[in-house]
Amino acid sequence: MKEDRNMLPYNWISTPLETIISTVKGKKPKILGSKSNDLQIPYIDIKAIERKIFSKYTNRENCTMCEPDDNLIVWDGARCGWVGRGASGAVGSTLARIDTFNLSKSYLYYFLMSKFKEINTKPKGVGIPHVDRNIFYTFNFPLPPLPEQHRIVEKIEELFTRLDAGVENLKQVQAQLKRYRQSVLKATVKGRLTAEWREKHKNELEPADKLLERIQTERKKKLGNKYKEPTPPNTTDLPELPEGWVWAKLGQITHLITKGASPRWQGFDYADHGIKFIRSQNVGWGRLDTSKIAFLPEAFNMKEKKSILKKEDVLLNIVGASIGRAAIATEEVENANINQAVSVIRLIDGILINKFLMYYLISVDAQSRIHRKTVDVARANLSLTDISELCVPVPPFNEQIAIVEEIERLFSITNGSEALIEYELKRSQSLRQSVLKHAFLGKLVPQDPNDEPASVLLERIKADKGKAKKSKQMEIF
């Protein structure tokens, strides 16, 4: 938002930010540790002001102190320009305290909030980004009379409270829709989704155990001496399936279970075009996100030809925090390659439908079994053996078709609602910016002709700031 001085109300004034504030950089205390009798003062970092999480404490030695109503700005790091408040303690070394003089700290807080994107996208520094002083201090600050500052803050907080309530309601509905989708998948595993369909077609279905037996016989004929008889799954802790269904290990019903690899040559960088490269961030919960596909140079020599994708492959994340997310390879990514965090599952035709498997993999039932094999989510990983040994329910083939159709029918009902919620959540952010824009143009509350003009207030601010600076110099001397 750029201020137009001519658009401000008659009793406002525009002035560079540096004329009305001063900043005091935080410091790293000499002593820092867990809370104790000697260390009682919270060390204020981003977590402390954003989530009220105090993980370190200090004493007053070599500290820059702050109070709950002080504005603190992230001066160094990826979130430089972010402003927070509401904490008392020692200001962290990556933060700075913003001092004001005869000015509403809350009014300044909302002004700086409106400037976050402009500050954050134009940082100074190559290694660790930090706030560019040439941008920060030269912002034209729209200064209203002091009473109007308080009225503006009151109105902003009233409107933001309403927006917060609306956002909270939207998120609750969003959570309910997610629970509904999981209940649909849970009903699928238990066979409830197609109970009526199954009863109606019970004389037409080939039981899944007979289907598996027939497929294994065909594989045995095809592979000859290379064929290995699969060990039956251990169903001890598996839920009971409807009649005609059977549990099977993924290794029994797949042509291929593999994973990709990441390039490892010196100086490697992704290209603007070339070989499509699918990473774990592309694999969502039942959806492949192709909006941010990476590319490998055309010269990249694929050693693992089997990790080249085919349309209809099932993709499963097997490393890190996104472990368990699954999607299906579309025509758009055919012949793409995958990295080591993604597994390819290529099914034998005629046993399991890829969409049925994908929906099962993202169900609570499958997720509990997947995460049971991991310990630390941040470093979690599934081996190819883990995937091969994973048990999945196999209904009769025609019932799988009916199940997938019913899942997608029910999900289509929620998709429209979820899209609308996402739109409204984004719109709420735009509304916040609109509120702030109107606030700093003097259009949020009416002006009071009895208010002292901002020009008089500005002179008093300058005088008070000068006194504070002189007092600090005397203290140092």
Query: What is the average pLDDT across 444-458?
Result: 95
pLDDT at 221: 75
The partner residues of 275 in beta bridges, in order of sequence, read 296
Query: What is the average pLDDT across 279-287?
Result: 93
pLDDT at 127: 81
Across 442-463, b (16+ Cβ under 10 Å) vs e yields bebbeeeeebeebeebbeebee
Residue 2's pLDDT band (cuts 50, 70, 90): very low
pLDDT surpassing 70 at residue 451: yes
Query: What is the average pLDDT across 261-289?
Result: 82
CB within 8 Å of 56: residues ≥ 6 apart: 32, 33, 34, 42, 43, 45
Across 118-142, b (16+ Cβ under 10 Å) vs e yields ebbeebeeeeebbbbeebbeebebb
Cα 119-120-124 angle, rounded to 5 deg: 80
State the Cα–Cα distance between residues 264 and 272, nearest whole angstrom.
18
Could you give phi then psi for residue 178, rounded to 5 degrees?
-65, -40
Dihedral (C-alpha) 64, 66, 70, 73: value to the nearest 10 degrees? 50
State the Cα–Cα distance between residues 113 and 231, nearest whole angstrom.
61
pLDDT surpassing 50 at residue 3: no
The number of residues in the chain equals: 477
The partner residues of 254 in beta bridges, in order of sequence, read 347
The partner residues of 327 in beta bridges, in order of sequence, read 315
Query: What is the average pLDDT across 285-298?
Result: 88
pLDDT at 232: 81
State the Cα–Cα distance between residues 115 and 96, nearest whole angstrom.
16
pLDDT surpassing 60 at residue 376: no
* DSSP one-letter string for 242-259: PTT-EEEEGGGSEEEEEE
Q: Scanning the structure block, which residue is given the tokens 């010196």?
A: 266
Query: What is the average pLDDT across 101-113?
Result: 95
CB within 8 Å of 50: residues ≥ 6 apart: 84
Q: Tell me: the pLDDT tens digits for 120-166?
A: 999 998 788 999 999 999 999 999 999 999 999 999 999 999 999 99
State the Cα–Cα distance between residues 379 and 323, nearest whole angstrom.
10
Instruction: State both tokens at 110.
Output: 């909302």
Q: Tell me: the pLDDT tens digits for 197-250?
A: 998 998 888 888 888 888 778 777 776 777 677 788 888 888 889 989 999 999
Query: What is the average pLDDT across 250-259?
Result: 89
Taking alpha carbons only, the member of 321, 257, 328, 318 closest to residue 286 is 328
Taking alpha carbons only, the member of 66, 166, 72, 162 closest to residue 113 is 72
pLDDT at 476: 41
Number of C-beta neighbours around residue 176 at 10 A: 12
pLDDT surpassing 80 at residue 35: yes
pLDDT at 477: 38
Q: Scanning the structure block, which residue is given the tokens 């029910």?
A: 410
State the Cα–Cα distance between residues 169 and 298, nearest whole angstrom.
49
Q: Are 239 and 190 in contact (CB under 8 A)?
A: yes
What single-letter amino acid sits at 131? V
Least confident window among 171-175, 184-188, 301-305, 434-438:
301-305
Query: What is the average pLDDT across 350-374?
Result: 89
State the Cα–Cα distance between residues 475 and 472, nearest whole angstrom.
5
Q: Are 45 and 92 in contact (CB under 8 A)?
A: yes
Q: Distances in Å between the alpha carbon of 21 and those of 67, 406, 449, 465, 469?
A: 16, 62, 26, 8, 11
Q: Which domains does the chain have, with CATH numbers?
A: 5-145+447-476 (3.90.220.20), 240-395 (3.90.220.20)
- pTM over 0.85, yes/no: no
Instruction: State both tokens at 91.
Output: 């200001």
Q: Which has more pLDDT, 155 or 300?
A: 155
State the Cα–Cα distance between residues 473 and 477, nearest whole angstrom.
6
Cα 453-457-462 angle, rounded to 5 deg: 150
pLDDT at 421: 93
Percentage of residues in the chain having pLDDT higher than 90: 64
Q: Are 381 and 323 in contact (CB under 8 A)?
A: yes
pLDDT at 261: 79
Q: What is the mean pLDDT of the chain?
A: 88
